[in-house]
Structure 1
Amino acid sequence: MSGVKCHIGQDVEKQGSKLPKKWNDPNKIPTDRTMVVGGAAGARDSLDGPGCQLKKRRQRYVEKDGKCNVHHGNVRETYRYLTDIFTTLVDLKWRFNLLVFTLVYTTTWVFFGLIWWLIAYLRGDLDHAGDRDWTPCVDNLNGFVSAFLFSIETETTIGYGYRVITEKCPEGIVLLLVQAILGSIVNAFMVGCMFVKISQPKKRAETLMFSQNAVISMRDNKLCLMFRVGDLRNSHIVEASIRAKLIRSKQTKEGEFIPLNQTDINVGFDTGDDRLFLVSPLIICHEFNESSPFWEISQEQLAREEFEIVVILEGMVEATGMTCQARSSYLDSEVLWGERFTPVLSLEEGFYEVDYDTFHHTYPTPTPTCSARELSELAKKGEAIPLPPLSPPASVSDTPNPQSPRDRWEEGAGQEEGEEENVSNGDVKKMDTEYE
């Protein structure tokens, strides 16, 4: 997981530059993260300088809000979009979707209105307008405007009763059948497209929360990577599941460079812990074992790594039954070593309450600085796990005997009815002041 930490012009999209088409471009510099614009030769030389002072912001593969930061360029087979025109219309932005919706109906009305007017013109109905002895194809059709209005009435089945087709016009009857059938197809297609677009569960994903940072700390004597997820709505996500991917460039033994390679991170697939009952916020845990990509990562090495962890939460919306997906990501700089999430669940009078003010809060906890592999070797030798000294915050030292989260939870559960104080899991408010 080694990579160059200092780059020039890393944020290529913000600079308006496109990703290069060739790796051997002399003006482009391949890195473990992506391809970046090199600029002048002096700028490239500064990469090897002491301190790397010109480091730019890292480019994300997936934004914090779940948007995938990948643009497709040089797509020559654009006809493929037309083969799936329904999905193409649903994926359009609302302003373009409404424009297409309006144009489709207006075009069909004008097209059939022109044909109705052409029939009346060829039959001579326009020359005998107002002649009661003449039987026209369509009563009271005396111009293109009236033909256009009759086309709208026919396709929308409004039926005002002023303009009606007569039985002595076989070509008009055939056109009426064609317009009725095609009009039904257009209605089914466009209304179905609008319904699917309106009922898309994308907005439901915005009420699914991910913690701003991921943490690494000890859990059951093992190093673990953890992040928190939560649902703001009372309607639950049915069959919710979580998975995570490690996005990191790699080079194979044969010398092949694979940019942004995806590696699966086990968050409970073998034990079923990836299936979530997301009623209250949950902490998702990845254990550092021999199959973990973080098996040999220590705190010191983490500071030199370049990677991105993409987390994906999927499930069905309880109200509609449609599948919903929420995404977020954590850069290596957003992974905190030696931290633990502040508890957010408190025991109230007859119910549990979630305090989302502390959803993203963490506090320091004693954590070994060595890798999980080294911890495993120490455990096999029977040696004690080395823990770095942790100086408590000043607010903690002011408290003579600070209670643990478990003690505070049990104290809150044991309170008698009528007491004013209600102690939460971990005393949420006190933990905020201690470890913010």
Structure 2
Amino acid sequence: MGSVRSHRYSIVSSEEDGMKLASIAVPNGYGNGNMTKVHTERPQQSRFVSKDGHCNVQFINMREKGQRYLADIFTTCVDIRWRWMLLVFCLSFLLFTAAFLFSVETQTTIGYGYRYVTEECPIAVFMVVFQSIVGCIIDAFIIGAVMAKMAKPKKRNETLVFSHYATVAMRDAKLCLMWRVGNLRKSHLVEAHVRAQLLKSRTTAEGEFIPLDQVDIDVGFDSGIDRIFLVSPITIVHEIDEDSPFYEMNKQELETSDFEIVVILEGMVEATAMTTQCRSSYVASEILWGHRFEPVLFEEKNYYKVDYSRFDNTYEVPSTPQCSARELAERKSNCSSRNSFCYENEVALEKVEMEEEFEEEEEHKVLRVIEPLNDSNIDLVSECDPNIDSLTLEERPLTAESEI
């Protein structure tokens, strides 16, 4: 259990490994979470989404805004601030003194004093009944709105945290963009899943300028890795491959680019079964190239311990390449092609050598078979005709030639 898991979202480490990482001393001071990243001076980029998840957007020139908001009055009351909601509740009573007291006596059914309704004024009787009914409706509406405001899952986001920095480093021989999420409560976030989008301005082929173009960042949607079990902090991983918007960015280009990465964590609150969404963002100056997060989950004797003091800490990885993922892939492909070429040459040479050896062996076998036959033929001729060489041409026997 003390060994590091091979899963891409591996979160368990040993106490000894954590102490080693915490004691690393590097020249730029990143070793123990003291992150002092140096960049060239450039204008501060305006955030679309702040670090606490609020969207920095203001709506202007909206047509019929009041009518649209009143059409959905319940949502309006749930969304407005408490001060305005209390004001609406108080306005259900009249403002001038005598009518206000009479209205309070009627609406709260506490009884009348000197002011009371008689049969001499039928309109007053009707208004008392009408106000009683309307008062019950207003009370029920206000109570429902108050309960809805108190049960909103928005406050649950206070205990869902994102790391202050994102990192770029190698993982499983691939260049990856990583950030960390955590849950400060012991109650679970049901069906938790993560998403990410890149916000960057661009100009189309037709010359149209898009100030905030939204591009999805893959965090494992197809494979299902985007769905997480958020019991302890987890590092979210985006592999920078051919489909990634960062595929052609090296370290220098990433640090000088103007973009924003919006990260989103969604899930259902276990207590209320209401869906909540927690957001944060990272700009280029908050992405650390060549760093990894320190482990925060350690295995004890009978339990696991999460140290949130290490949640934002990173340590430097000097072996991280400074080039883009595309250049890294090209280098690997060139190296593999050279290796395959050398291997093919070796195989061809070995094949030629084997063929030559085989031919030599065949020649030796033929020679071994022919030599005994030649020796036996010579001996046979010498035994049969011992004096044939001493005979004259006329005396030698004529041998018939074989017909072809």
- TM range, smaller chain: 0.5 to 0.7
Q: Which residue of structure 1 aligns with residue 57 of structure 2?
A: 70
Matched, 1:337 2:325: no
Q: Which residue of structure 2 aligns with residue 380 of structure 1?
A: 333
Name the count of aligned residue pairs: 297
Which residue of 189, 197, 203 corresponds with 1:245? 197
Q: Structure 1 residue 373: deviation in Å?
A: 1.6
Q: Distance in 1 between matches of 2:142 and 2:101?
A: 21
Q: Structure 1 residue 372: deviation in Å?
A: 1.4
Q: Which residue of structure 2 aligns with residue 89 of structure 1?
A: 77
Q: Distance in 1 between matches of 2:277 and 2:234?
A: 17
Which residue of 188, 196, 206 corresponds with 1:254? 206
Matched, 1:56 2:47: no
Q: Which residue of structure 2 aligns with residue 3 of structure 1?
A: none
Q: Which residue of structure 2 aligns with residue 204 of structure 1?
A: 156
SS across alignment from 1:206: helix
Q: In structure 2, do the counterparts of structure 1 residues 96 and 149 end up closer, same or farther at CA, with 3 Å as the change threshold?
A: closer
Amino acid at match of 1:353: K
Bigger RCO of structures 1 and 2 (CA < 8 A, at least 6 apart) = 2
Q: Which residue of structure 2 aligns with residue 404 of structure 1?
A: none
Q: Deviations over 1:311-346 (max 9, x none)?
A: 011111111222211111000111111110100001
Q: Which residue of structure 2 aligns with residue 369 of structure 1?
A: 322
> Residues 32-431 of structure 1: matches in 2 within 5 Å?
55-79=42-66, 80-103=68-91, 105-107=92-94, 145=98, 148-159=100-111, 171-365=123-317, 366-383=319-336
Q: Structure 1 residue 152: deviation in Å?
A: 1.9
User: Larger Cα Rg: Structure 1 or Structure 2?
Assistant: 2
Q: In structure 1, list runs of 5 or more residues that go unmatched.
A: 1-51, 115-143, 385-436
Q: In structure 2, do the counterparts of structure 1 residues 239 and 163 end up closer, same or farther at CA, with 3 Å as the change threshold?
A: farther
Q: Structure 1 residue 348: deviation in Å?
A: 1.7
Deviates more, 1:196-205 or 1:284-293: 196-205
Q: In structure 2, do the counterparts of structure 1 residues 349 and 102 end up closer, same or farther at CA, with 3 Å as the change threshold?
A: farther
Computed over aligned residues only, the root mean square deviation of the Cα atoms, in angstroms, reads 2.5
Q: Structure 1 residue 199: deviation in Å?
A: 1.9
Q: In structure 2, do the counterparts of structure 1 residues 188 and 328 end up closer, same or farther at CA, with 3 Å as the change threshold?
A: same
Q: Structure 1 residue 167: deviation in Å?
A: 7.2
Normalised by the size of structure 1, how large is the TM-score? 0.63
Q: Structure 1 residue 148: deviation in Å?
A: 4.3
Q: In structure 2, do the counterparts of structure 1 residues 53 and 346 end up closer, same or farther at CA, with 3 Å as the change threshold?
A: closer
Deviates more, 1:165-174 or 1:243-252: 165-174
Q: Deviations over 1:243-299 (max 9, x none)?
A: 001010011111111001111111111111111211000000111111111111111
Amino acid at match of 2:82: W
Q: Which residue of structure 2 aligns with residue 119 of structure 1?
A: none
Q: Structure 1 residue 353: deviation in Å?
A: 0.9
Q: Deviations over 1:131-169 (max 9, x none)?
A: xxxxxxxxxxxxx74x64443233223458997766787
Structure 1 moving runs of 4+ over 4 Å:
159-173
Q: Distance in 2 between matches of 1:279 and 1:53?
A: 39
Deviates more, 1:357-366 or 1:370-379: 370-379
Normalised by the size of structure 2, how large is the TM-score? 0.68
Q: Percent identity?
A: 56
SS across alignment from 2:256: coil
Q: Structure 1 residue 223: deviation in Å?
A: 0.8
Q: Which residue of structure 1 aligns with residue 31 of structure 2?
A: none
Q: Distance in 1 between matches of 2:320 and 2:336?
A: 16
Higher helix share: 2
Q: Distance in 2 between matches of 1:363 and 1:101?
A: 55
2:93 and 2:104 in contact (8 A); partners too: no
Q: Structure 1 residue 364: deviation in Å?
A: 1.1
Q: Distance in 1 between matches of 2:243 and 2:287?
A: 20
Q: Distance in 1 between matches of 2:110 and 2:267?
A: 42
Q: In structure 2, do the counterparts of structure 1 residues 102 and 349 end up closer, same or farther at CA, with 3 Å as the change threshold?
A: farther
2:93 and 2:103 in contact (8 A); partners too: no
Q: Which residue of structure 2 aligns with residue 433 of structure 1?
A: none
Q: Distance in 2 between matches of 1:211 and 1:248?
A: 22
